[in-house]
Structure 1
């Protein structure tokens, strides 16, 4: 059975030059969702959102649309995964109002946060007590290459990032998540048709294995994410 493929951008801002490719009417999110079936909510990393805001977003998109929600930096960067049960409760009290349209959680760690098995295990234990859905981890310290067994145990997927920070580890394969930040100039560089075609090939292999697969373009700073994501749709991965 082919796994679902979720394609979108980090945020639903639409550069004016791409407006003709989307629905003419509706909110920014509604117009965005007329072409893409997924989006990564990055604003949750910086500030909380009211439950009714998540509910409104969920009601604005088609039934098959899914949101990936970035775990707050208060948990990942300030508390550094420790003693964060209360913060997790507060976060889930908000984002779970997406209902079935909450497709994945993104846990991005600071580059300075190394892998400590006891700390990581306690964090994922606390997270799994509150959330049984897909979770993708984007660590940025090389020591996390040793975390494969723990990620298997807690069924945590690995973010395949570009530019590559850590070579892929043998993590849980129940979800695949590509996060394309832009290279060589991070957040700015466009990928273009040739590199997007290579990405489409990798996505086909993932979905052919029956794995839920995400591809999020995060090269938003110069407005290239939407163009690259539209190009990917044309490649029919």
Structure 2
């Protein structure tokens, strides 16, 4: 066979009696085949509505998003392309940017794996969004001099995301971590600092800048005024640290019209510090476990109204919201479509 490779063999190779081995199955991540219900819902969703999950590296989504079980490591590296083929998953939140900012080349690599209609929500780095410098266990050690630094945010976060994601950029979210008590008493100063940061950011050719908070003290008319002046959006944060969704809607009305940015993070039953409790209870996130019908229906109405006004919606959901983010997306899509039917 080696001679034959170079064209020097005089005789053809003898047939073998050995059984032919089947081709090795590819271990690349394959998407689960969509069912008819998912395809029908996707066809009825307004094209401006982009629904998705917070990250994608969860083995428990086998049969829902993945064709078979893959390791968390493989999904983190190779799963986004399969995730993007799911008919209802038209967005994703890149949460790891909070811990380490991504380079433009990393954003570009991610963007190349998804369809043109796909949109990314990206969390800004903690060295801009956290008022405290924290130790290894997350405890605050000192005030952060880079908190709401516009130049730092522009250079390390906004410009790389614009360059790498291009037309697939949905929302750049500055999630402001819980403030220490001494800063919660200085809201006018913080609002001025936020205004200065937003003024320093470059305009986005695609997508929006949004501010998500963890302290209800931010939810005031002065906060809305800063966002409106700077063309930024309030990220509707569905988290027990904040009031329920109905009580946050006045802030959205003050900024109307405009795109909707929402991150549904944690079921209210777990409380303000219940993240680990949710992880322990929901296991591998393979199924819906705590349906939150009230939140879902209200959010569906907001999505539908926003899309009907010609504005895009960037909504991402965590596994900790109801037990399984893909199932939450599916049921939210169903509620949005039902709103459409009810509204005629």
**TM-score range for the pair, normalised by the shorter chain length:** 0.7 to 0.9
Residue of structure 2 in register with 1:135 after alignment: 209
1:157 aligned to 2:208? no
Q: How does 1:70-149 map to 2 (within 5 A)?
A: 70-77=123-130, 78=144, 79-82=146-149, 84-96=150-162, 97-112=164-179, 114=184, 115=187, 116=189, 117-127=191-201, 129=202, 131=204, 133-144=207-218, 145=220, 146-149=222-225
Instruction: List alignment gaps of at least 5 residues for structure 1.
Output: none
The yes-or-no answer on 1:58 pairing with 2:111 is yes
The structure 1 residue matched to 2:121, chosen from 50, 63, 68, is 68
| Change beyond 3 A, Cα 1:20–1:219 | closer
- Does residue 181 of the first structure (1) align with residue 262 of the second (2)? no
Which has the higher Rg, Structure 1 or Structure 2?
2
Query: How does 1:11-26 map onto structure 2 within 5 Å?
Result: 11-16=55-60, 18-22=61-65, 24=67
Partner of 1:32: 83
Which has the larger displacement, 168-177 or 216-225? 216-225
Aligned twin of 2:19: none
Secondary structure of residue in 1 paired with 2:157? helix
1:228 Cα deviation after fit: 1.1
For 2:197 and 2:211, how far apart are their aligned partners in 1?
A: 12
- In structure 2, list runs of 5 or more residues that go unmatched: 1-45, 69-74, 131-143, 283-288, 338-344
**8 Å CA contact 1:152, 1:172 repeated in 2:** no
What's the TM-score once normalised by structure 2's chain length? 0.60
Task: Judge which range, 61-70 or 173-182, deviates more.
Answer: 173-182
- C-alpha distance in structure 2 between counterparts of 1:21 and 1:222, whole Å: 15
State the 4+ residue runs in structure 1 displaced beyond 6 angstroms: none
The number of residue pairs the alignment matches comes to 233
Equivalent-residue separation in structure 1 for 2:106 and 2:300 (angstroms): 33
SS at match of 2:82: helix
Aligned CA RMSD, in angstroms, stands at: 2.7
- 1: CA distance, partners of 2:233 / 2:102: 25
For 2:301 and 2:234, the matched residues in 1 are separated by 19
